[in-house]
Structure formats: structure tokens, C-alpha cells
Amino acid sequence: MGLTSPVQKEAEKSILLTSVEKMGRWAQKSSLWPATFGLACCAIEMMSVTNSRYDLARFGSEVFRASPRQADLMIVAGRVSQKMAPVLRTIWEQMPEPKWVISMGACASSGGVFDNYAIIQGVDHVVPVDVYVPGCPPNPEALMFGILKLQEMILEGVPPKYLQLQKEEEALARESQ
């Protein structure tokens, strides 16, 4: 026992044991690529998170992609009009799986002050939402907190919301048979 003790101590410091699944989740959460997609004033706060003051790059989520096919995170920053809803849905559908959605601000989450016929009263009517960030507008720190919460969920293995909904629908279909 005495002979292996220093070896054991060294091994504890330098060897990391994990599973392929956990490693994959760690890689996913550490390299979220948001789609470049802003709808209103909240988008200005969203853009701020990548600048040197807030430096979202510290958390590996600053690579905003111009193509949805290269993005796995949609940040809905601003109010969603009826006209924009199908466009937003198409962009979300073009994103590869697994993918996540953050609803940023009161307008995206509930329509905010725009309680009228032109604005969707919550983007969850259009795409499944994983994390809601409250505020009008949420400041960059709040958005970063939301992104960190999403990263925690990914690391813990919480499935994206659209997969949860799919499972619920399948269970309901089985029950109704």
C-alpha cells in the first residue's frame, strides 16, 4: 500500500475518468454556437455580450453564425411579429440537432407590452424554448446567466425542450391507442 501511495496521489492529480457521453455533453456545452438573429432592442444587449467588457468567449458561446446550419443555439432577442414567426420557425428547423432556444426578454417570452394582434404572445408558440431570460431589456449579464444555466442543463444531460415534447407526444399517443 505504501509503495502505491505516491503513485496513487499523482494519478489522482493527473488522470481524469469519465464516460464518452459525459465528454460529449461537456464538449457541446463548451461550444454553443448561436445563430445570428436579432429582432428588436433586446438584440443590442445580445450583441454586447461578445464585446471585450462582457467577453462571452470565456464560456465558448461567442461564435455567432450567419448560417443556421452552423448554429445550435437560437437566442430570440426581441418581439416576434406574426410575419416573422414562419421565418423564425424555418431558421430553427434548419439548425442541426441537438439544438436549444433561449427566449430573451419580456417581448420574446410573452409579447411584453405589445399585447396586440401583430405580435406573437410568446415565442414558445413557434419554437420550443429551453431557457427564459426575463427583463426589458435583460442586460448582458442576465443573458450570460441564461447561457450558463443552459450549459448546466446540457452538462447534466437534460434533453432539449423539443425532444422532451416529442417524448410527451409519443407517450400520449401510446396511451390513446
Place of cell 455567432: 64
Q: Among 25, 71, 72, 79, which residue interacts with ligand SF4 (rule: CB under 6 A)?
A: 79
By CB under 6 A, the residues from 5 to 44 that bind ligand SF4 are 40-42
**Smallest Cα–Cα separation from 130: which of 93, 164, 82, 177?**
164
Q: Among 137, 140, 146, 160, which residue interacts with ligand SF4 (rule: CB under 6 A)?
A: 137
**Interface with ligand SF4 includes 102 (CB under 6 A)?**
no
Q: What angle do CA 51, 155, 95 make, to 5 degrees?
A: 65
C-beta of 69 vs 125, nearer to ligand SF4 = 125
Q: Among 88, 101, 106, 120, which residue interacts with ligand SF4 (rule: CB under 6 A)?
A: 106
Contact status, residue 119 vs residue 82, Cβ threshold 8 Å: yes
By CB under 6 A, the residues from 146 to 175 that bind ligand SF4 are none
What is the full DSSP assignment across 137-167? SPPHHHHHHHHHHHHHHHHHTPPPHHHHHHH
**Interface with ligand SF4 includes 143 (CB under 6 A)?**
no
Rounded to whole angstroms, the Cα distance separating 40 from 157 reads 32
**Interface with ligand SF4 includes 103 (CB under 6 A)?**
no
**Interface with ligand SF4 includes 136 (CB under 6 A)?**
yes
Binding site for ligand SF4 (CB under 6 A): 40-42, 78-79, 105-107, 112, 136-137
